[in-house]
């Protein structure tokens, strides 16, 4: 995360002081480093060298058009989970031949949009979806490329809310049923089985679960090939963890090193679809202290950003490092809380934090993935601005919402 660091006592993103951005666009605001996004993509791309591969970005982690354009320009593909993400990905300039579409509940309309764009593969998650895709493709005189998303029944050893590969999860086709479904797919006229897909969870900080999963799913690839299916793509999913605090996390190189024998055994083009790894540490959220207060035995810094702006602490009890914009700010022990009317509205609890004065801005680090993407207008709070930094330049890449945006599309009926 060298793109964010102190220089001359001031916190910078690349060549821009974050205080300049806080003054220019106000707070709360998300700030993304172009260089960090590019660096993470290149690190992944290089880790897979020697293997025929495609590094996709999981659009759900950060769908901002400028973020997507940055990665699309480097040749990245896109992993999408909705028609809305397809729209974003295409608008941002991703080559549809590099778009893969996962999700357990793709509607007929979403399948139609994907067929219209001629995306690389639909990652089919059930027998029912396979039938629906076959029918939809038939209606439009098309043939859909399909990868079967299998559920390998492994525990990703991550937070339960972001583990997706255990037996009782809603995701994917049970491994034991995959071969029969593949045989069935081969008999359908308007789908073409081209791949196998797995994705077992997010923020994985150990490689064993992934390796165990790859053992099972690459065995399946071998079985499918022996049954005469031509498996051209093997999608190993995303989920590589990042360092939020002091976690010791394996990087792309270690990931591919551990996975390489399995990946090679498939003889297929390897697809990975990382979201958090590419965007997480490429972003920070700026927020200002509105009030300081004491209540009982506790000290609070009340921020102008809350759970509607950055949900991860409230939702997963997630840790985000809090940095002062001025390096010499002394520490204090406090909670950094938001203005939202929920006790669960906090950004940091009972931690050593910068002893910021009222009006001072702070940086909530590692907020580039599942930050703005999970934001909402709860409490009728306009969502924050988003900014991208490139070298010593910066630009607003999403305007701060205004009150008028809050009621956009709402109608008061004539009978009132």
Ligand X SMILES: *Cc1c(COP(=O)(O)O)cnc(C)c1O
Instruction: Check binding of 238 to ligand X (CB under 6 A).
Output: yes
Instruction: Check binding of 60 to ligand X (CB under 6 A).
Output: yes
x/- track of binding to ligand X for residues 190-229 (CB under 6 A): ---------x--x---------------------------
Q: Which of 40, 61, 270, 318 binds ligand X (CB under 6 A)?
A: 61
Give, as ranges, the residues between 361 and 380 that touch ligand X (CB under 6 A): 369
Strand locations in 259-392 (E): 269-274, 283-295, 298-303, 322-324, 331-337, 346-354, 361-364, 385-390
Q: How many CB atoms lie within 10 A of CB 254?
A: 13
Instruction: Check binding of 81 to ligand X (CB under 6 A).
Output: yes
Q: Which of 88, 98, 229, 276 binds ligand X (CB under 6 A)?
A: 276
Which position's Cβ is nearest ligand X?
A: 275
Range in contact with ligand X (rule: CB under 6 A) among 68-76, 271-279, 341-349, 351-359: 271-279
Residue 351, classed as helix, strand or coil, is strand
CA distances from 389 to 15, 165, 386 (A): 8, 36, 10
Long-range own/partner contacts, residues 53-56 (CB < 8 A, 24 or more apart): 53/269, 53/270, 53/271, 53/272, 54/98, 54/269, 54/270, 54/271, 54/272, 55/272, 55/274, 56/98, 56/99, 56/100, 56/271, 56/272, 56/273, 56/274
Containing 118, the helix (H) or strand (E) segment is: none
Instruction: Check binding of 273 to ligand X (CB under 6 A).
Output: yes
x/- track of binding to ligand X for residues 156-175 (CB under 6 A): --------------------
Q: Are strands 10-13 and 4-7 parallel, antiparallel or unpaired?
A: antiparallel
- Mark whether 341 is an active-site residue: yes
Q: How far is the CB of 337 from ligand X (least distance, A)?
A: 27
Instruction: Check binding of 239 to ligand X (CB under 6 A).
Output: yes
Q: Tell me which residue has tokens 């701060």.
A: 400
Instruction: Check binding of 79 to ligand X (CB under 6 A).
Output: yes
Instruction: Check binding of 102 to ligand X (CB under 6 A).
Output: yes
Contact residues: ligand X, CB under 6 A: 58, 60-61, 79, 81, 102, 199, 202, 237-239, 273-277, 369
Cite the active site residues: 341
């Amino acid at each position: 995360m060298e793109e964010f660091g102190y220089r001359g006592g001031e916190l910078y993103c690349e060549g821009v002081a974050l205080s300049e951005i806080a003054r220019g666009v106000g707070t709360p605001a998300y700030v993304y480093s172009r260089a960090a996004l590019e660096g993470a993509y290149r690190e992944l791309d290089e880790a897979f060298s020697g293997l025929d591969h495609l590094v996709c970005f999981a659009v759900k982690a950060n769908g901002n058009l400028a973020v997507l354009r940055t990665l699309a320009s480097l040749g990245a593909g896109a992993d999408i989970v909705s028609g809305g993400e397809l729209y974003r990905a295409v608008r941002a300039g991703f080559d549809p031949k590099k778009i893969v579409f996962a999700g357990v509940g793709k509607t007929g309309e979403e399948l139609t949009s994907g067929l219209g764009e001629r995306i690389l593969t639909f990652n089919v998650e059930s027998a029912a979806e396979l039938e629906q895709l076959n029918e939809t493709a038939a209606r439009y005189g098309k043939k859909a490329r399909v990868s079967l998303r299998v559920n390998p029944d492994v525990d990703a050893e991550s937070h339960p809310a972001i583990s997706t590969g255990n037996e009782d999860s809603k995701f994917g086709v049970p491994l034991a049923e995959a071969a029969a479904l593949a045989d069935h797919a081969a008999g359908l006229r308007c789908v073409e089985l081209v791949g196998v897909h797995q994705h077992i969870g997010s923020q994985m900080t150990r490689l064993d679960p992934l390796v165990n999963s790859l053992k099972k799913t690459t065995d399946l690839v071998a079985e499918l090939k022996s049954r005469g299916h031509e498996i051209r793509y093997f999608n190993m999913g995303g989920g590589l963890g990042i360092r939020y605090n002091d976690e010791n996390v394996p990087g792309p190189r270690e990931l591919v090193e551990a996975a390489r024998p399995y990946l090679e055994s498939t003889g297929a083009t390897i697809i990975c679809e990382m979201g958090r790894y590419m965007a997480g540490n490429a972003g920070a959220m700026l927020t200002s202290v509105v009030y300081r207060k004491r209540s009982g035995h506790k000290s609070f810094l009340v921020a102008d950003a809350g759970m509607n702006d950055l949900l991860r602490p409230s939702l997963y009890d997630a840790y985000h490092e809090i940095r002062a914009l001025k390096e010499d700010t002394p520490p204090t022990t406090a909670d950094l809380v938001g203005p939202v009317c929920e006790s669960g509205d906090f950004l940091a609890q009972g931690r050593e934090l910068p002893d910021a004065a009222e009006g001072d801005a702070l940086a909530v680090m590692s907020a580039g993935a599942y930050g703005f993407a999970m934001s909402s207008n709860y409490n009728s709070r306009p969502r924050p601005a988003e900014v991208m930094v490139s070298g010593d330049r910066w630009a607003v890449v999403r305007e701060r919402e205004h009150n008028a945006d809050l009621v956009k599309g709402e109608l008061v009926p004539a009978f009132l």
